[in-house]
Chains A and B, each alone.
Chain A
Amino acid sequence: MATTTLETFRCMMCGHEYQESVEKGEDKERSCPKCRSNSIRHLKKKAVSDQRSAKTT
């Protein structure tokens, strides 16, 4: 079962910081929810839940 973690990202263009659930092994293009820039820096991770509980979040 794939693990989902809540991870923090920072946009290197506008400085906006946000958190997003990330499924292990996912292959996804990221863009800033605020300015749409692709300069997204991955800051840290925090294990949250497995796939089942992630569906409820």
Chain B
Amino acid sequence: MPSTYVLNMNDCLGNNPIACGKCAEACEQNAINYDDHDEILTREIGAIIVAIGLDVYDPTEMDEYGYTRFDNVITSMEFERLICAGGPTAGHFVRPSDQERPKRIGFVQCVGSRNPKIGRPYCSNICCMNTIKDTLLLADHYPDVQNTVFYQDIRASGKSFEDMFQRSKEAGTRYIRGLPGEVEEDPETHNLTVTVENTTSGSLERHELDILVLSVGVQPPKDLAKISSLLTLSKTSDGFFMESHPKLKPVDAPTRGVFFAGFCEAPKDIKDSVCQAGASASRAGALLNTGRIQIEAITSRIDEQACMKCGQCAAVCPYGAINWKKGEVAVVVEAACAGCGACGATCQFDAITMRHFTDDQLIAQVRALLELEPQDKVVVFACNWCSYAGADMAGISRIQYPASNRVVRTMCSARVSEEMVLEAFRCGAPVVLVSGCHYADCHYINANRQTAKRMQRLWDKLEKAGVRPERLQLEWISAAEGQKFAEVMRQMEELRKTVTMEEIEHTRHALQPKHKKIPEKKTATAGAR
């Protein structure tokens, strides 16, 4: 909340011309400017801290608790207003139906949290301690109240939180493990009856209460999608922003120069939000104070003469690092390019070169490793961060797996183009594996989704050419999954044994490259030069 007054122009008697002006006369600082208005400011900045907060869950859809039907069912936010000294009742806790002070108060935990059925499988992190705080507050102000908390788990894992929980129990709060299945209201007294299965005792219980407080969870703010699109940020499956690395870069966004603070990254309490804000400010300060930034050496370069201005590269870039307008040559913003190579693998006109991982270099590797006895080899394209590290993990863990695999390392699985896979088959590879990070772990925001799409096209293409599509496999293997890497290698070896020499020969011929049709536009442009 701002600590300054704001003029409500809907209620003001008028400022054009000024009808009253008493506030301006009274303000000794001359801080009232009637001519001020909303405006869009343009600023050049070097870092952005995203701290857009949260939205509170609206329990209307969970009608089993009667939030829309019964006056005495309120949310934890409404409870906060009722007990606030500056609130509508001046801090006197009364129930909405008859303005009487309630003596039997129930709290229902996890309303809108840890519930996959309503699309909110995550823990909101703050509700347990908020309820414990409320029970202590009530016990302190009104010693005669009976608090009952219905919960599935109490998560009191912060500093001194367990102590608070114990104090709440000692103050007489009953904690019943089980969430209510039904809430009924007595139409005359407006008292509520809650039916709950106590999972500790295994019994079905009915509790009569004067008021029921729904401890509502939190959710990503509604503006999150807009900010996400603006700053090319990715989201986790629960809808919050995804950090660059959960352990090593917990406040950095995958887009460089962007940092997170607070709830927009994940539900957290005030202490954690303050810590994260400090860390973000520090990271942003470190970035700005260096005076110069280091960019990746592995970036894309677009050949202006070969670019057909189709814009496909810009569409697949997870960082929005390619500027393209219809009818214009695409341009890579090297400071923003992280070097995943998705653009290079997507470009059908060989107009994009990935520095240090060029098409020629990768295809040369494929040809070299299949030069001798290709029928005995399993070609594995492995991403640098996860699958390749997974192979390393299998090695250092001394996990045994067949020695037939030959690994080609790329920075991201999205760098593996259709041509690289087809070339491996043309060179006689019996089976090919493309492997990358799990969806949640992709080090290039979501570049590996391009891999998944490309695999679908490749399977179709192989089938159309009369090649068994099963000979091409896809696996997501993380750096910790050495065991999985070994298991996949064993499966690939089994698959390799099913491929006959006749199949390999047929594949070589069936996948021979057709003569590339050069678009007229390119020829015309080249001629003009």
**Residues of A bordering B, CB below 8 Å:** 12-13, 15, 27-29, 37-42
Extra inter-chain contacts (6) besides given A13-B470, A39-B470, A40-B474, CB under 8 Å: A12-B469, A13-B491, A13-B495, A37-B475, A41-B469, A42-B456
Cα distance A42–B452 in the bound complex, in angstroms: 10
B57 within 8 A of A: no
| A28 pairs with B439, CB closer than 8 A | yes
B476 within 8 A of A: yes
B446 within 8 A of A: yes
Q: Which residues of A contact B439 (CB under 8 A)?
A: 27-29
Cα distance A15–B470 in the bound complex, in angstroms: 9
B449 within 8 A of A: yes
B3 CB to nearest A CB, Å: 41
B316 within 8 A of A: no
- When the two chains form the complex, which single residue of A12, A15, A27, A29 contacts B473, counting CB atoms closer than 8 Å? A12
Q: Which residues of B contact A38 (CB under 8 A)?
A: 474-476
Q: Which residues of A contact B495 (CB under 8 A)?
A: 13
Cα distance A28–B237 in the bound complex, in angstroms: 8
Cα distance A37–B475 in the bound complex, in angstroms: 7
Q: Which residues of A contact B475 (CB under 8 A)?
A: 37-39
| B456 pairs with A27, CB closer than 8 A | no
Q: Which residues of B contact A15 (CB under 8 A)?
A: 470
Cα distance A27–B450 in the bound complex, in angstroms: 12
| B456 pairs with A41, CB closer than 8 A | yes
Cα distance A3–B446 in the bound complex, in angstroms: 22
B454 within 8 A of A: no
Cα distance A40–B469 in the bound complex, in angstroms: 11
| B472 pairs with A12, CB closer than 8 A | yes
Known A12-B459, A13-B491, A27-B446; judge A39-B438 contact (CB<8 A): no
Closest to A29 in B: B439
| A12 pairs with B470, CB closer than 8 A | yes
Q: Which residues of A contact B470 (CB under 8 A)?
A: 12-13, 15, 39
18 A-B residue pairs with Cβ-Cβ distance under 8 Å, sorted by A, are A12-B459, A12-B470, A12-B472, A12-B474, A13-B470, A13-B473, A13-B495, A28-B237, A28-B439, A29-B438, A29-B440, A38-B474, A38-B475, A39-B473, A39-B474, A39-B475, A41-B459, A42-B456
Cα distance A42–B459 in the bound complex, in angstroms: 10
B483 CB to nearest A CB, Å: 12
**Residues of B in contact, count (CB < 8 Å):** 18
Closest to B460 in A: A41
Q: Which residues of A contact B456 (CB under 8 A)?
A: 41-42
Cα distance A37–B434 in the bound complex, in angstroms: 12
Interface hub of A28, A29, A40 (most chain B Cβ within 10 A): A29
| B473 pairs with A37, CB closer than 8 A | yes
B472 CB to nearest A CB, Å: 7
Closest to B491 in A: A13
Closest to B468 in A: A12
Q: Which residues of A contact B476 (CB under 8 A)?
A: 29, 38
> Quick one: which of B468-492 are within 8 Å of A by CB?
469-470, 472-476, 491
Cα distance A3–B470 in the bound complex, in angstroms: 31
| B491 pairs with A27, CB closer than 8 A | no
Q: Which residues of A contact B472 (CB under 8 A)?
A: 12, 39
Cα distance A13–B456 in the bound complex, in angstroms: 14
A27 CB to nearest B CB, Å: 7
Closest to A28 in B: B439
Q: Which residues of B contact A28 (CB under 8 A)?
A: 237, 439
Interface hub of A15, A28, A37, A41 (most chain B Cβ within 10 A): A41
Closest to B488 in A: A37
Q: Which residues of A contact B449 (CB under 8 A)?
A: 27
Q: Which residues of A contact B473 (CB under 8 A)?
A: 12-13, 37, 39
A36 CB to nearest B CB, Å: 9
Cα distance A40–B459 in the bound complex, in angstroms: 10
Q: Which residues of B contact A37 (CB under 8 A)?
A: 473, 475, 491
A48 CB to nearest B CB, Å: 19
Q: Which residues of A contact B459 (CB under 8 A)?
A: 12, 41
Cα distance A39–B473 in the bound complex, in angstroms: 5
Closest to B469 in A: A12
Instruction: Give the top 9 A-B pairs by smallest Cβ distance, nearest first.
Output: A29-B439, A39-B473, A39-B474, A38-B476, A38-B475, A12-B470, A41-B459, A38-B474, A42-B456
> Quick one: which of B426-482 are within 8 Å of A by CB?
438-440, 446, 449, 455-456, 459, 469-470, 472-476
Q: Which residues of A contact B474 (CB under 8 A)?
A: 12, 38-40
Q: Which residues of B contact A29 (CB under 8 A)?
A: 438-440, 476
> Quick one: which of B232-282 are within 8 Å of A by CB?
237
B429 CB to nearest A CB, Å: 16
Cα distance A37–B477 in the bound complex, in angstroms: 11
Contact string against A for B residues 95-109, beta-carbon threshold 8 Å, 1 for contact and 0 otherwise: 000000000000000
Cα distance A41–B474 in the bound complex, in angstroms: 10
Cα distance A35–B474 in the bound complex, in angstroms: 13
